[in-house]
Amino acid sequence: MPRVVFLEPDGRRREFSVPAGTTLMEAARQHGVDGILAQCGGACACATCHVYVDPAWLARLPAREDMEAGMLENAWEPRPNSRLSCQIHLTEDLDGLTVSVPERQG
């Protein structure tokens, strides 16, 4: 099971093992990660599951699709390493993926 690390807005580090195939957003919601609202439930129809991916992991992720890129335009303080957590499916290759949760969403 891949491990994922969330750095919450208050600086707290939370690490979980989750089944492969789980989205990063689902992992956050299942474990009560602060700051991941996921108002659309993972439909890529809002930006309330926005995270900043640790730059060391960016090359391992699939490229953003147009829909995700469009939604990120509505995110709070988007950066080059911004992603929607609902669009990242965890695999064994992403074991140890580290993301930071913004201070606020949308």
Between the alpha carbon of residue 47 and those of residues 34, 42, 65, the distances in Å are 15, 10, 14
Q: Where residue 21 falls among pLDDT bands split at 50, 70, 90?
A: very high
Nearest to 84 by CA among 54, 45, 30: 45
Confidence (pLDDT) at 85: 98
Q: What is the pTM of this model?
A: 0.95
Between the alpha carbon of residue 93 and those of residues 9, 19, 60, 96, 101, the distances in Å are: 26, 13, 8, 9, 21
User: Mean of the pLDDT values across residues 31-56?
Assistant: 95
Task: Spell out the domain ranges in the chain.
Answer: 3-100
Structural fold of domain 3-100: Ubiquitin-like (UB roll) (3.10.20)
- pLDDT value, residue 43: 94
Which pLDDT value is given to residue 84?
98
Percent of all residues in the chain with a pLDDT value above 90, rounded to a whole number: 99
